[in-house]
Structure 1
């Protein structure tokens, strides 16, 4: 459930949505988007109007907070919940929010200032380094999905394909990090790109498994009581994966992943166990779901 927002912000949000992304007042003529984040502590959604700058296929937003001494709340939210919702014009889509670091942050901030010089004034007004956040597509690289989704089996396979793709991308980025270590053989803490994508993956996996345990599995089990051992095994595997997931989440809690080698080892263990679990689940459940239409039919219309 969304939280309340200041009346001025709410008026901008309402005007944005009523006029296909166009607003007047101080934002007239500017590039404006709506960013919806999930509260780091509250877990509820919060929508904020923000200026943005296009950069290739991504959008850049800056945590300027009008040059104030603290990062804005939406920035802390996206560090805790990296998948955000973005509204631009009439489009609405999910994005992965990744703060830029080091030389890349400097390069992107200079790019933003060339397009919108006011951000340079905000940086000059504070000793705080203004975060530059890249809003990029949330799907794994090369994601096309498994094809048309017409049945519950198709939907389950789509979710599994997305999870596998996310995990492959995190592993590839982690391997690249280790391959580019300095000559001394030491690697700095893993970057925010890896952290944000892995955290998004862990949160999506947790939501998927909770949904299966709470809804999908009990619904199937009622019609197939002879598969009790199968569902017991699936539940055991969910618990085993959750323990690994909790370990990864603990390593991801700080902004910097301080123990890259341990992270890599636990990520490999997660990958091995999750792949085996998804293979077994698909073998056991896809044939049972192949004739169940998706999306489910709604209730019959009232006479």
Structure 2
């Protein structure tokens, strides 16, 4: 729940295209909306930020308090966040930096805003440095023409495939780095790293949302008009359950990224790739032709006339 002070800053930010007065006047400020780790409710927090190339950095300073801020715990549970920057609003993947990269980025932040060094000096905890990255998979460009429900479902499928490919590429790079290490010094740590964790968790959560939406709304709606497809929908439901079991295994492995067995994770990811791609192929073959004539977005129903008055 935002404090009264934060609420006033948020209101002023949105009313003035990202510009605020008071203690933030002239500073670089954004609004970060996270999803509660326990509550599932959205919370918006005004935060200072530092640019690093094309990336935005936010620091979990809490003015040097002994505990990480709530928004940091939230983004560990729900990596996709909403960012308001000036008059722009966009989704981002929140990735805490680790090791040498964290030290490099924190030094850059201190150079831009020396107050962060004071906050670090006040506490024994290591202030998190969070990189706000593009949420979409690399190379992703949304289709220009989405005019039917079939187009929309295909857009989601393409996004999911792209996310899965990127997660696999990053896991493969992790294994390659370990295999290529010849010293001196220790090899890369055995854990898969927060970047892989955040992107994989974001993929799993988006996949779950998509399949639940299909099971609860899309498929029952189609089945009413196509009762002869009972076996098709039974197969799709079973495939959803299979994918959900693999997804559950991945989420469990991601719960403690520092000690996760990379080999086991890699095996589960390969299984996810095989099962999900086969499922999407079958769904596109069987279901998309039925949706090709359904407009997207849905037409807004006409407003009901108001009752006559005397």
Q: TM-score, normalised by structure 1?
A: 0.96
Partner of 1:234: 236
Indicate the larger mover: 187-196 or 288-297: 187-196
Shift in Å, 1:186? 7.9
> What is the rounded CA distance, in whole Å, between the counterparts of 1:187 and 1:33 in structure 2?
33
Matches within 5 A, 1:3-152: 4-152=1-149
Q: Residues of 1 paired with 2:284 and 2:51: CA distance?
A: 40
Match of residue 204, structure 1, among 199, 203, 206:
206
Structure 1 gap segments, 5+ residues each: none
Residue 296 (structure 2) aligns with: 294
Unmatched runs of 5 consecutive residues or more in structure 2: 306-310
Counterpart for residue 190 of structure 1: 192
- Counterpart for residue 277 of structure 2: 275
- C-alpha deviation, 1:126, in angstroms: 1.2
Q: Distance in 2 between matches of 1:265 and 1:187?
A: 19
Aligned mates of 1:175, 1:255 — CA distance in 2: 16
- Equivalent-residue separation in structure 1 for 2:50 and 2:197 (angstroms): 24
Equivalent position SS for 1:180: helix
Aligned to 2:255: 253
Q: Note the C-alpha offset of 1:183.
A: 3.7
Q: Check conservation: 1:13, 1:34, Cα contact below 8 A.
A: yes
Distance 1:196 1:97 in 2: 7
Q: Which moved more, 1:209-218 or 1:184-193?
A: 184-193
CA offset digits 1:158-215 (Å, max 9, x no partner): 0000000000000000000000003488852111110000000000000000000000
Quick check: 2:177–2:188 contact (8 Å CA) kept in 1?
no
Deviation at 1:256, TM superposition (A): 2.6
Q: 1:245-285 CA deviation, whole Å, 9 max, x = no partner?
A: 00001011124352111111101001100000000000001
* Cα deviations by residue, 1:121-179 (Å, 9 ceiling, x for unpaired): 11111111110000011000010134411110000000000000000000000000000
Native 8 Å contact 1:146 1:161 kept in 2: no
Q: Which consecutive segments of 4 or more residues in structure 1 shift more than 4 A?
A: 184-187
Distance in 2 of aligned mates of 1:237 and 1:100: 36
For the residue of structure 1 that corresponds to 2:45, the secondary structure is strand
1:174 aligns with 2:202: no
Q: Which moved more, 1:113-122 or 1:183-192?
A: 183-192
**Aligned counterparts of 1:229 and 1:212: Cα–Cα separation in 2:** 16
> In structure 1, how many angstroms separate the alpha carbons of the residues matched to 2:37 and 2:204?
15
Aligned residues: 300
State how far apart, in whole Å, the 1-side matches of 2:259 and 2:35 are.
Answer: 22
